[in-house]
Amino acid sequence: MRRRPMARRLSLLLTGLIAGGGLLSGCSRGDQSASGAVNLKEGVPVGAVLALSGNANVYGQDQRVGLNLALAAVNGSGGINGTPLRLAIEDSGSDDPGANAAMTLQINRGMLAIIGPTLSQQAFAADPIAQRRGVPVVAPSNTATGIPQIGHFISRVSAGSGVIAPLSIAKALQLNPGIRRAAVFYAQDDAYSTAETVVFQKALSDRGLKPITVQRTNLADSDFQSQISSTLALKPDLIVLSLQGVDGGNLVRQLRELGYRGTIVVGNGMNTPNIYPICQKYCDGLLISQAYSPELATPANRAFVQAFSKAQAAGGKGTLIPPQLTAQAYTALQVVAEALQRLDKRKPLKGLSAAAARTALMDEILGGIYQTPLGEIRFTPEGEVVQKDFFVAQVRMNPGGRSGRFALLP
């Protein structure tokens, strides 16, 4: 079942940088054609398309925090060679039409680059719009196979499922060499889930674990009792999930409530602390591959963690440990900002048309090497991220079962 389009989208057009909070700045409502000059009156315009409502809002909220922090860092250190970076965030909801509308709106507003959209499913719908209009897109969370291949103007800082998903399978078998029977669940109506499950199933087969059952679900599902019962009758000792946060959290909870005690490996769709209130104590023990570690001892990551912790403490938030989606969103805006700085020094933005600036900016994005919270990254000519550091974490829930952390495993 596909998610229903939102009745309306709330446009987040915020003005000014709030001191100490790293919060958002607004955007101009005026459209700007590609042939017109870059409008720098209110700052260098960069847009974001995030799922801030609907089922995927658990991801979009994490991403917004990362963009807030990156914006504060960039403008706090001089912006784009003395001109502030102006960030406009548009809510895409959690469906394809919302992403298409938000992407089109941001391009028409004259944004030089777009960060987003949140979901791979949305990216396959909306990114071709940016590609046709020659606008750089940097994806902070699209892991499905084929995202950079949409076109020259599409890149991502989120490593693909094929790179990171097999790591959690290997760790599960290392922790429990006796695993023999694996079952698989995936959301059949979601591009990310259908791509990731192929990677998971291959990783299992490569280790001699052909799945004993493959269960197809839908993103809107909330009751999995029938599928779980038929699966548990086959006595699996490993269950692998490619789902998003809400449906995945509910499935984990029901698996445990119905008596499953074996290992559970989950994919990138559940890589957010926002699953904790959903599966609660039953989240404990989940294994997941990660492209970010808050413990990475680099100057860029230490600065990011410090800024995140300070902002969370100031806002009275419980967790002081940044999640992966926040780090990746921060990285996406950092990449765009550094590329803009290099471009402006070579070809001042003030003298360029929007079309020329966008084309030159894409070349700068692809040609750079970046020291980020994710570690050092760069891009292939196709726009795929090249990253060195990956990790596997296990969820450790706190007493009470409402909060927890992703504990990195050796």
Tell me 7's DSSP state. Answer: S
E-strand stretches of 92-212: 114-115, 137-139, 154-156, 182-187
Angle between helices 57-76 and 245-257 (to 10 degrees): 130
Q: What is the pLDDT of residue 23?
A: 35
Q: How many CA atoms lie within 13 A of 329 on its CB side?
A: 30
Q: What per-residue confidence (pLDDT) applies to 320?
A: 82
Length of the chain as a residue count: 410
Per-residue confidence (pLDDT) for residue 22, from 0 to 100? 34
Q: Helices 96-108 & 120-133, crossing angle to 10 degrees?
A: 30
Q: Which two tokens stand for residue 192?
A: 């990310």
- Omega within 30 of 0 (cis) for the link into 117: yes
Q: What is the pTM of this model?
A: 0.88
State how far the Cα of 339 lies from the Cα of 334, in Å rounded to an integer.
Answer: 8
C-alpha torsion angle, residues 371, 374, 378, 381 (rounded to 10): -160
- The pLDDT of residue 317 is 75
Which residues, in sequence order, are bridge partners of residue 139? 156
pLDDT one-digit tens code per residue, 294-332: 989 999 999 999 999 999 998 877 678 899 999 999 999
Q: Report the alpha-carbon distance of residue 387 to residue 289 in Å, rounded.
A: 14
Superfamily of domain 11-158+298-379: Response regulator (3.40.50.2300)
- 181's tokens: 């029977």
Residue bearing tokens 């847009």: 47
Going by C-alpha positions, the residue among 48, 52, 57 that lies closest to residue 87 is 48
Q: Which of 254, 252, 290 is nearest to 271 (CA)?
A: 290
For 109, the 3-state DSSP assignment is coil
Class of domain 161-290+391-408: alpha beta
Q: At what angle do helices 191-206 and 161-175 cross, to 10 degrees?
A: 50
Rounded to the nearest 10°, the torsion over CA 176, 225, 56, 322 is -30
- The pLDDT averaged over each successive group of 10 residues in the chain (410 residues) is 35 31 37 75 97 94 97 98 98 98 98 98 98 98 97 97 95 97 97 96 96 97 97 98 96 98 96 93 97 94 97 82 96 98 97 96 98 98 96 95 90
Using an 8 Å Cβ cutoff, are 122 and 93 in contact? Answer: no
405 φ, ψ (degrees, to nearest 5): -155, 160
Domain ranges of the chain: 11-158+298-379, 161-290+391-408
Contacts of 54 (CB under 8 A, 6+ apart): 3, 6, 93, 94, 95, 98
Residue with tokens 């042939």: 35
- ∠ CA 18-23-29, nearest 5°, is 95
With b for 16 or more beta-carbon neighbours within 10 A and e for fewer, the 331-344 pattern comes to: bbbbbbbbbbbbbb
pLDDT at 238: 98
